[in-house]
């Protein structure tokens, strides 16, 4: 990636042009660089799927885009931008549109987590994971958090995880999850793929749910049908953009809850760092190496 001057985007019908202050960095952006994303892109391409900025009439908003976020100007659809309450800062709002909505709908729309159930949450110190741990805990679920370092596992416990599991070694992951949970779990989120997906699936109990939302390890995995039939397990895939055109407004409802939780202090935003726009590649390197924690953003004024 390199910093270049390009013409301002031309808003299409239903869009507005934002002055971008912060652009969120997500693992989907790393997939775009490696040409492994769910939706192929044509080069040259400007990454970035969530931004915080100002509308032409001066409102402070957080918004979702389909690329184009790593820029000083971004065209966003009117239905995919939400005004930020005064009690929520730009830095707090930055992860809510994409990572916050993803965590919320993974847990409650797809996995349908309820009070008293046990759920496995991977990458528990990451952008989506740190929010999912807190949302599940607030809902009264028992959270088994997966993380690869002592520091990340400590953070997961601070955020509300019931138990933490070392995910740095795939071998024996099923047994470690079962030991931590005291038996099979009701649901699990999964975003690594490969052996980790299969090991996580084995820890899901009868009539449980597995929700797949990524393959950060770079390896796709075939789901063993025998296991699904043997335990009546439901496996679902999830990609947030499929909710963008949903006119029942599930994103508007979840954004209200996320803003309220941040505003009243019951949802903590873990900030991994803010980089100048020109240093986007450095932010990707930290994210790809899994050495950081929380939300990474780009400051478009630098």
Angstrom CA distances, 297 to 15, 52, 89, 302, stand at 23, 10, 13, 12
Answer yes or no: pTM beyond 0.85.
yes
- Three-class secondary structure assignment of 101-128: HHHHHHHHHHCCCCCCCEEEECCCCEHH
pLDDT digits (tens, 9 = 90+) for 106-130: 999 999 999 999 999 999 999 999 9
Q: pLDDT, tens digit, for every residue of 18-36?
A: 999 999 999 888 878 877 7
Contact 125, 270 (CB under 8 A): yes
Q: Are 288 and 28 in contact (CB under 8 A)?
A: no
Q: What is the model's pLDDT at position 217? A: 67
Confidence (pLDDT) at 52: 98
Nearest to 256 by CA among 51, 12, 84, 41: 84
Per-residue pLDDT of the chain in tens (302 residues, 90 and over written 9): 899 999 999 999 999 999 999 999 998 888 788 777 767 788 899 999 999 999 999 999 999 999 999 999 999 999 999 999 999 999 999 999 999 999 999 999 999 999 999 999 999 999 999 999 999 999 999 999 999 999 999 999 999 999 999 999 989 999 999 999 999 999 999 998 889 999 999 999 999 999 999 887 666 778 889 999 999 999 999 999 999 988 777 999 999 999 999 999 999 999 999 999 999 999 999 888 877 899 999 999 88
Q: Output the pLDDT for position 292.
A: 83
pLDDT at 40: 77
C-beta neighbour count of 219 within 10 angstroms: 12
234: number of Cβ within 10 Å: 15
Alpha helices in 45-148, H assignment, sequence order: 90-93, 101-105, 127-138
Supply the pLDDT for residue 33. 83
Start-end of CATH 3.40.50.720 domains in the chain: 100-241
pLDDT at res. 248: 78
Whether 145 and 156 have beta carbons less than 8 Å apart is answered as yes
Query: What is the C-alpha separation between 295 and 292, in angstroms, rounded?
Result: 9
8-state DSSP, 301: T
pLDDT of residue 180: 98
Domain range 15-95+269-299, CATH class: alpha beta
User: Which residues in the chain are classed under CATH 3.90.180.10?
Assistant: 15-95+269-299
Can you give the pLDDT at residue 218?
A: 66
Q: In this predicted structure, what is the pLDDT of residue 223?
A: 87
Q: Which CATH architecture has domain 100-241?
A: 3-Layer(aba) Sandwich (3.40)
Residue 139: the pLDDT is 98
């Amino acid at each position: 990636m390199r910093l270049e001057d390009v013409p301002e985007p031309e808003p299409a019908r239903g869009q507005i042009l934002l002055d971008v202050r912060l652009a969120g960095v997500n693992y989907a952006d790393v997939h775009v660089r490696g040409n492994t994303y769910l939706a192929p892109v044509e080069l040259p391409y400007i990454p970035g799927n969530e931004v915080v900025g100002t509308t032409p009439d001066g409102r402070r908003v957080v918004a979702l885009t389909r690329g184009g976020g790593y820029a000083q100007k971004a065209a966003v659809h009117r239905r995919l931008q939400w005004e930020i309450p005064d009690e929520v800062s730009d830095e707090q709002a930055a992860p809510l549109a994409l990572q916050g909505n993803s965590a919320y709908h993974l847990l409650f729309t797809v996995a349908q987590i309820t009070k008293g159930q046990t759920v496995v949450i991977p990458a528990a110190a990451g952008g989506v994971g740190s929010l999912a741990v807190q949302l599940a805990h607030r809902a009264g679920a028992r959270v088994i958090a997966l993380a690869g370092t002592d520091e990340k596992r400590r953070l997961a416990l601070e955020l509300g995880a019931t138990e933490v599991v070392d995910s740095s070694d795939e071998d024996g992951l099923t047994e470690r999850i079962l030991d931590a949970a005291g038996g099979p779990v009701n649901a699990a989120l999964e975003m690594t793929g490969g052996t980790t997906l299969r090991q996580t699936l084995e820890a899901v109990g009868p009539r449980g749910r597995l929700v797949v939302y990524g393959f950060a390890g770079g390896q796709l995995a075939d789901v063993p049908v025998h296991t699904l039939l043997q335990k009546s397990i439901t496996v679902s895939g999830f990609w947030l953009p499929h909710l963008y055109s949903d006119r029942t407004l599930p994103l508007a409802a979840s954004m209200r809850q996320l803003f309220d939780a941040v505003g009243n202090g019951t949802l903590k935003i873990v900030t991994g760092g803010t980089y100048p726009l020109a240093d986007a590649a450095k932010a990707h390197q930290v994210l790809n190496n899994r050495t950081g924690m929380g939300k990474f953003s780009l400051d478009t004024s630098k």
